[in-house]
Chain A
Amino acid sequence: AQSVTQPDIHITVSEGASLELRCNYSYGATPYLFWYVQSPGQGLQLLLKYFSGDTLVQGIKGFEAEFKRSQSSFNLRKPSVHWSDAAEYFCAVVANSGYSTLTFGKGTMLLVSP
């Protein structure tokens, strides 16, 4: 079965600084990869996804993620963080064969300091 690790429970970034949130997955092949964001009291909003092809994917709100097969990683980045980016971020995977559903990491809470 696949699993997802988000090593950082909390991250604090100054407004305007760059951001990288880490995500590592465990799966025998390349899974389908997703990043979701959850604001307080809200559901999950899809930021971006990777299925195949170009390993650098662009998402909404200025986010991007890079898939690195050799490191089993799918890290989320943003060049300049805004205060409105404060939220919890979840990395998730789905197997690319057989039948499967989303497996989530534990999430990373992003705090933005002025």
Chain B
Amino acid sequence: KAGVTQTPRYLIKTRGQQVTLSCSPISGHRSVSWYQQTPGQGLQFLFEYFSETQRNKGNFPGRFSGRQFSNSRSEMNVSTLELGDSALYLCASRRELANQETQYFGPGTRLLVL
């Protein structure tokens, strides 16, 4: 079974631009979560989607948004990019929206904001 895939793998943007990242979950997984990883803050939860609905949201500004499609694929968008948005963005999927369900991670998208 194919794992979680994320596109693109690398991205360079300038301040003020917006960016869209894509995540395809493992087949049969209906939940997709997004995490931001930076050297200073570590791994931080952004949001989780299940059945096209946002179920949980972390402590990030409204510039960070996401959505999920009927095939469970998900996108996240960051508008008005800031230098501090430079990070590795990880997507994770799990079968169901249950706490004991293991989350499987993709390779991430590395975003550099100049």
**Interface residues in chain A, defined as those with a beta carbon under 8 Å from any beta carbon in chain B:** 32, 34, 36, 41-46, 49, 51, 90, 94-97, 99-107
Contact = CB atoms under 8 A, between A and B. Distances in A.
B105 A45 contact: yes
B99 A94 contact: yes
A43 B56 contact: no
B66 interface: no
Interface string B87-106: 00010100001011011111
Interface of B: 4, 6, 33, 35, 42-43, 45, 48, 55-56, 90, 92, 97, 99-100, 102-108
Given A43-B107, A101-B48, A95 B99 contact: yes
B56 A36 contact: no
Contacts of B102: 34, 46, 49
A36 to B, nearest CB: 7
A76 B55 CA distance: 31
A61 B55 CA distance: 34
B99 A90 contact: no
A43 B42 contact: no
A99 B42 contact: no
A43 B105 contact: yes
Contacts of B43: 90, 102, 104, 107
A99 B99 contact: yes
Nearest to A45: B105
B55 A99 contact: yes
